[in-house]
Structure 1
Amino acid sequence: MSQPSSSNSSAPFLTTLRASEANTPDRRRWWKEAVVYQVYTRSFCDSDGDGIGDLPGLISRLDYLQSLGVQVIWLAPHYDSPNVDNGYDIRDYRKVDPLQGTMKDFDRLVEGLNARGMKLIVDIVANHTSDQHAWFRQSRASRENPYRDFYIWRDGRDGGPPNNYLSIFGGSAWQKDETTGQYYLHYFAREQPDLNWENPAVRKEMYEMMRFWMDRGVAGFRLDAICFLSKLPDLRDLTLAEMESLEHVYVTGPKVHDYLQDMHREVFAGRDLLTVGEAFGVPFDETPAFVEESRGEMTMVFHFEIVRLGRHDWQVQDWTIKDLKAVLRGEDTSSGPEGWLTSFLENHDNPRSVSWFGDPSPKGHGPSAKALATMLLMRRGTPYIYQGQEIGMTNIRFDGIEDFEDINARGIWDNTVGIGKMSAKEVLSSLSKISRDNARTPMQWDGTSRAGFTTGVPWFRINPNHTDINVAQQEADPGSILNYYRRLIELRATHQALIYGTFEDVDPDHPSVIAFTRTLEDEQFLVLINMCGEKEHYILPHGLKIAEVLIDSTSAQAADVLPELMPWQAGVYRLAPPADI
C-alpha cells in the first residue's frame, strides 16, 4: 500500500468550516440526532407460522430494537397489496395487509414504540398504486369515468405506445388496456400505474391519507420515488442518451417542487416530522432545493451514489476507495447550508454492504462489518440501519433465475437473456451481486433450522450462513458486530460533534484508508478506517495527533493505534489540541 499523498499533509486543528447555523446544537432536531432502523416486515419476524413476517412479530422484537439504541423504526409498506412488488404496489392505503396483521396490531406497534420512547415512520408510495386499487379499477372502466384522470392515459402512436419511455424495471413504460384502447403510464411494473399529480383530486386524496396515518401516531414518512411525481411536458420522446439514465430524466419534471411544497403546506407544516425522500436520480447540486428548511419540502433525502458505487444500472463495474471517498465528500456538501443528510449503506433495494464493500469470508466478515459500521454511524447525517446489517448479514447464493423472487431481476433477465442479447452466465454474475433479493432474506435471529424467523415455511430462502451469523450468537459475544453497533450508537449520542460537527476528509488521496474529522467548537475527533484486508503502514496527516481512543474495532490503545493499521481496523479518536502537538 502506498503512503498518504504529501499534497494533503496539512490539516490544522479547528480550521475547517464551521457547521452552518442551521446545523448546530442551537438548531437541534430530534430527527438529526436519531438513529433509524428499517424493518422490511415481510422478512423480519413471523408470529403465526405462515412464513411471512408480520406486525405482531415485529412487536415481539421491540425490546431487542430498543436495546440496540435506535430511536426510530422505518416500516416498509404495511398496506393491503397484491405484493407484485412486495408491498410497493398498494391496493388500499387505509388498510393493513392481512398478511401483516390488523389495524389493531398497527396501533399496538405505535403504543409499544411510544412506551419505549421510540417513534415510527412509514413508507408512502405516492407515485403509483396497484392496478387493483379501487381508483384504477374505476379509471380503466371507461374514458368518461370520474377517476379516469387519476392516472395518465394516452392514445397509442403508429400501432404502438404513445412514446418511447422505458420502465425502470425494463420494457416499455406504457401498457395498453383493451377496455378503452388507450395506454397507461407505469414507471415501474405494469401492475403499478403512475398517478396523475396534475389532478388536484389526486393530491387531496393523498394528503388526507397521510393525515390518517399521522392521526394514528406516525412521526414521519419515507417518501418512495417522490421525485418522479412530475412528468415531462407533453410526454415527449427521450433521446438515446436519456434512455441510458432514466432515473436522471424522470426526476426533471417541472412541477416536482410545486407538489412537494404543496404537500408540506397541507400536511407537514406545524408538525415536527421526519420526512425523507427517495432522491434516486437527483444530482448533488440540485439537492438543496429539496431539503433546505426555508423552502418547506422535506427534511432529508436518500442519495444512491454510495450504495450504487461500482454499478452501471444493474451491471457490475470496478471501483476504488478513492472513488468512495469522493462520493462521501460530494454527498456531505450536497444538502447546502440549511439542509440535512442521511447516511446509509443498505436498504431493501440494495445488496448487503459486507458483500459489496467488505469481505464476507470468515476471516474478513467481522472486521469489515465493523469498519463499515464506523463509516455509517460516524458520518454527518441521520444514520439508517437496515435489518440484519447490525449482525453483518451477507448476500445469498443464486444458481439460476429460478432462485430470484425480485420482479426487477426477472425483468432484467427477460430483456437480456430472454431475447438473446446476453448470456445467462454474464447476467447471472451481476444479478447475483446486485439483486434486491439479497436484502430480503429472512432475519437471522438464531442458528436453528428456520433462523428463529418462523415456525413454518419461509416465504423466501434463509441464508445458510445463519448458523454462524445470528443475533443469539452475537448477543453473547462482547466483541461481536452487534455489540460494536451498540457502542457506536451510544458514542454518537454522547458527543454533539459526532452529530452536528463538520466533516472533513483529511486524506482524500490515500488508496485504502478513509480518514475524516468531525469538528464542533473545541471538540475534534478523527475517524480512521482501513478499508482493505491487509495491514497498512499509515502516517497521520501533519498537524493531527491522537490523544484518546473513544472506540476501536481492535481494542487498540492510543499509543498503539499507529503507524500500523490492522486489516479493516476502524476507530474514533479524540485529537490533541495544537498546544499538545
Structure 2
Amino acid sequence: MAVDREWWQEAVVYQIYAQSFNDSDGDGVGDLPGITAKVDYLDELGVDVVWLTPVYDSPLADNGYDIRDYRSIHGDYGTMEDWERLRDALHARDLRLVMDLVVNHTSDEHEWFERSRRREGKYEDYYYWREEPPNDWESLWGDSAWTYDEERGEYYLHLFDVKQPDLNWRNPDVRADIYEMMRWWLEKGIDGFRMDVINLVGKPDPIPEDPDGPRWGGDHFATHETAHEFIREMDDEVLSEYDVMTVGETPRVSVDDARKFTTEDGLDMVFQFEHMHVDQHPEDPWARTEFDLREFKRIMSRWQTGLGQGWNSVYLGNHDQPRTVSRFGDDGEYRTESAKALATFLLTLGGTPFLYQGDEIGMTNVPFDTLDEHRDVWTHDEIEAALDTGRIDSFDEIADQVNYWSRDNARSPMQWTAAENAGFTAGEPWIKVNPNFPEINVAAARGDRDSVLYYYRDLIAVRAEHDAIIYGDYSQIAAENDDVFAYTRTLDGERVLVVIDFVGRAGRFALPDGVEREGLELLVANYGIADPDPTEIDLRPWEARVYHDE
C-alpha cells in the first residue's frame, strides 16, 4: 500500500520550556542563547522538531501565556537576534522550530486591550465586555471569570488569569490582526504552531446567562461550532499557504470533533486530554485516584482507531503535567525500567510523539518543602482559594497532593550535570532544582550505555526505520489484562508487536489465540532478554518488548 507521507507525521517533537532549559548568562532563568548552546544535544537525541513555549514579551503572570507583544522577545530570554540565531542553528541541523500560538487571550497589558478599555475605534469590541457579569462562571484559577475594569467601567471575560482577557474572535478585525501576526512569524521561517486552547476561541453569542452545569466558563462551550469555522478560516487565509505543522491544544475535545479538526478544518493534529484524567478526581483538583489500566487502554485505543483519516498526537507529559515517570511509572526502585517502558509506549503508538524536556533522562517530580517554593500561579491561586473558603485549614493538609500534581514539577530546571544547580545556571535558579540531580543528569546518562537517554535515542531511530510504527494500523491485544498493555502495528506485510508491563507487577503474559507468532523477532527491549520467544513471557516489573516481522 502506498503511504501518503507528511514530514510532521514522521517527526518526533521535543518540547522546550525556555525558562528552565539552560541559562547562558547566570541570571537564573533559561534563555534563547542557552537553548542554542544545546542544539547539538537535541540533534544527537534524534528528534526532528523543537516546540518552544512562549518567549514573547509578557508580564509573566502565567509564565508567558499572557502575551504583551506577539512580535517581541521577553528580555529574560534574549533578543530577536538571539531567536534568529536559534532558528538558524536548528535549521542547519535539519531540525524544525514550532512556536506557541496563544490567541484565545492576550495580556491585559497588550496594546489591543489597553485601546479596548479606552473604547478606541475598532478596538472597542476586541474583548468580551459587559456592564454586569451575565453569569457566575469561574476562571480556571477559581475566581470569577468576570473582572471589573475601572477605566472602561465594565466587566471583561477571562477564562484563565485575571491578566489574560479573552479575545472576541467574532470580531473580524481581531481575526485579521491575528492572521497578519501569524504570517509575520511564518515569513520569519518558523515551521508551525502549537495552538494554545484553540478550541475555546469560539464562544456562543450571546454568552449564556446563569447556565446550569460546570462553573468553569470553558466547559460551557469548549469546541463550540464557531471554533471549527474560525480554524477553517485560519487555514484558508494563512496556513494553507505554508508547509508547516499545526497541533491544537483542545481541552474537552471529543474524538468526533478531533476528527473534524484534522480532516476538515485544517489542523494536522490535536492534543486531547482524556487520558490525562484517568487518575484525576473529577471534582477535587488535588485528589489522586487509582490508576485504572483498563480504562487507560480503552481511551488510548479509541483515539488510536477513531480519527479515520485524521492524525494523532501522542504524549504523556508537558509543562502543565507532573513528571511522566512519577505519574505513570515508578520514580523509585524501577525509575530506569519504567521510564524506558513509557518511552516504548510513546514511540510505538500511531501519531506524532511529543517528548518533554528531561523525560529522556527520567527526571522526576520535585520534593517541594513549602508553598513558597512553588512558582505556579495556578497552584497559589487554588491554595489561597481553598484557604479563603475553609476547604482546608493549612497548606500542610494537602502538601503531598500539591507536590504530586503541581505544574512546577515539569518546570524545574533541566538537569545537565552533577555540578551546582545541575549545570542549569551559574546564578540562583528561578525555581527549585530537584535535589536528585547528582544522580539524574545528562552527563551521567551519556556515560551509561544502558541509560534512559540511550534507550530514547535507540527507539527514535527504530521508529524512523519502520513504516509500520509510523503509519501502521493499530490493534489492541488482551484488552482485559489488568497489568499489560499490548498491541500490534501492521502495514502491508510488516508487523510490530509491543508488550509492556504497565503497572510494575511481574507476571506471565501469554499471547492470546489468534495472534500470529511465527516470524516475530525481538527488535528492542528494556531488559536483557535470554529467551526472546513471545509466546509466553515472564515479564519483569515494567518490562517492555518490541517484536518485528516482515
TM-score (norm 2): 0.96
Aligned pair 1:201/2:201, yes or no? no
1:380 and 1:251 map into 2 onto residues whose CA distance is 25
Q: Quick one: which amino acid aligns to residue 27 of structure 1?
A: D
Residue 499 of structure 1 aligns to a residue whose secondary structure is: helix
Corresponding residue for residue 312 of structure 1:
281
- Residue number among 123, 126, 132 corresponding to 1:150 in the alignment: 126
What is the Cα deviation at residue 434 of structure 1? 1.2
Once the two structures are superposed, residues 145-188 of structure 1 have per-residue CA deviations (whole angstroms, 9 ceiling, x without a partner) of: 542211110011xxxx3311111121110100112220000010
Q: Where do 1:179-218 residues align within 5 Å?
A: 179-218=151-190
Q: Quick one: which amino acid aligns to residue 313 of structure 2?
A: T
- Residue number among 394, 397, 402 corresponding to 1:431 in the alignment: 402
- Residue number among 504, 517, 523 corresponding to 1:550 in the alignment: 523
2:190 and 2:422 map into 1 onto residues whose CA distance is 30
Residue 280 of structure 1 aligns to a residue whose secondary structure is: coil
Corresponding residue for residue 108 of structure 2:
131
Once the two structures are superposed, residues 331-356 of structure 1 have per-residue CA deviations (whole angstroms, 9 ceiling, x without a partner) of: 11242x22100000010111111111
What is the Cα deviation at residue 557 of structure 1? 4.8
Contact persistence 2:415–2:423 (CA under 8 A) = yes
Residue 545 of structure 1 aligns to a residue whose secondary structure is: coil
What is the Cα deviation at residue 254 of structure 1? 3.1
Contact persistence 1:287–1:334 (CA under 8 A) = no
- Residue number among 322, 343, 350 corresponding to 1:351 in the alignment: 322
2:387 and 2:303 map into 1 onto residues whose CA distance is 36
What is the Cα deviation at residue 410 of structure 1? 1.2
Contact persistence 2:249–2:271 (CA under 8 A) = yes
Corresponding residue for residue 3 of structure 1:
none
Once the two structures are superposed, residues 494-518 of structure 1 have per-residue CA deviations (whole angstroms, 9 ceiling, x without a partner) of: 0000000011111110000110000
Taking every aligned residue pair, what percent have the same amino acid on both sides?
43
1:451 and 1:323 map into 2 onto residues whose CA distance is 38
What is the Cα deviation at residue 324 of structure 1? 1.2
2:289 and 2:525 map into 1 onto residues whose CA distance is 32
Contact persistence 2:522–2:532 (CA under 8 A) = no
- Residue number among 325, 341, 349 corresponding to 1:371 in the alignment: 341
Q: Where do 1:34-53 residues align within 5 Å?
A: 34-53=11-30
4+ residue runs of structure 1 moved beyond 6 angstroms? none
Once the two structures are superposed, residues 228-286 of structure 1 have per-residue CA deviations (whole angstroms, 9 ceiling, x without a partner) of: 0011221113544232x654423143311111011001111132210000011112232
What is the Cα deviation at residue 193 of structure 1? 0.5
Contact persistence 1:165–1:237 (CA under 8 A) = no
CA 1:506 to 1:263, structure 2 compared with 1: closer, same or farther past 3 Å? same
Contact persistence 1:351–1:438 (CA under 8 A) = yes
2:309 and 2:269 map into 1 onto residues whose CA distance is 11
Structure 2: stretches of 5+ with no match in the other structure: none
1:284 and 1:170 map into 2 onto residues whose CA distance is 28
Aligned pair 1:326/2:295, yes or no? no
Aligned pair 1:407/2:377, yes or no? yes
Corresponding residue for residue 272 of structure 2:
303
CA 1:49 to 1:144, structure 2 compared with 1: closer, same or farther past 3 Å? closer
Contact persistence 1:139–1:151 (CA under 8 A) = yes
2:380 and 2:210 map into 1 onto residues whose CA distance is 25
Residue 549 of structure 1 aligns to a residue whose secondary structure is: strand
Corresponding residue for residue 5 of structure 1:
none
2:218 and 2:527 map into 1 onto residues whose CA distance is 41
Residue 479 of structure 2 aligns to a residue whose secondary structure is: coil
Contact persistence 2:134–2:210 (CA under 8 A) = no
Contact persistence 1:549–1:557 (CA under 8 A) = no
Corresponding residue for residue 470 of structure 1:
441
Higher relative contact order (CA 8 A, sep 6+): 1
Corresponding residue for residue 483 of structure 2:
512
Once the two structures are superposed, residues 544-570 of structure 1 have per-residue CA deviations (whole angstroms, 9 ceiling, x without a partner) of: 326211001002155356421111100
TM-score (norm 1): 0.91
Contact persistence 2:55–2:74 (CA under 8 A) = yes
Aligned pair 1:338/2:309, yes or no? yes
Aligned pair 1:394/2:370, yes or no? no
Residue 563 of structure 1 aligns to a residue whose secondary structure is: strand
Aligned pair 1:559/2:532, yes or no? yes
Contact persistence 2:29–2:429 (CA under 8 A) = yes
2:140 and 2:485 map into 1 onto residues whose CA distance is 33
What is the Cα deviation at residue 426 of structure 1? 4.3
CA 1:100 to 1:25, structure 2 compared with 1: closer, same or farther past 3 Å? farther
Corresponding residue for residue 10 of structure 2:
33
Q: Quick one: which amino acid aligns to residue 392 of structure 2?
A: M
Q: Quick one: which amino acid aligns to residue 83 of structure 2?
A: F
Contact persistence 1:344–1:383 (CA under 8 A) = yes
Residue 51 of structure 2 aligns to a residue whose secondary structure is: strand
1:431 and 1:334 map into 2 onto residues whose CA distance is 34
Residue 571 of structure 1 aligns to a residue whose secondary structure is: strand
Once the two structures are superposed, residues 87-108 of structure 1 have per-residue CA deviations (whole angstroms, 9 ceiling, x without a partner) of: 0000000001111111111111
Residue 276 of structure 2 aligns to a residue whose secondary structure is: coil
Contact persistence 1:219–1:273 (CA under 8 A) = yes
1:389 and 1:171 map into 2 onto residues whose CA distance is 33
Residue 3 of structure 2 aligns to a residue whose secondary structure is: helix
Residue 514 of structure 1 aligns to a residue whose secondary structure is: strand
2:3 and 2:508 map into 1 onto residues whose CA distance is 40
- Residue number among 251, 255, 260 corresponding to 1:284 in the alignment: 255
Contact persistence 2:416–2:443 (CA under 8 A) = yes
Corresponding residue for residue 68 of structure 1:
45
Contact persistence 1:119–1:218 (CA under 8 A) = yes
Q: Quick one: which amino acid aligns to residue 217 of structure 1?
A: G
Q: Quick one: which amino acid aligns to residue 407 of structure 1?
A: V
Corresponding residue for residue 94 of structure 1:
71
Corresponding residue for residue 502 of structure 2:
531
What is the Cα deviation at residue 305 of structure 1? 1.5
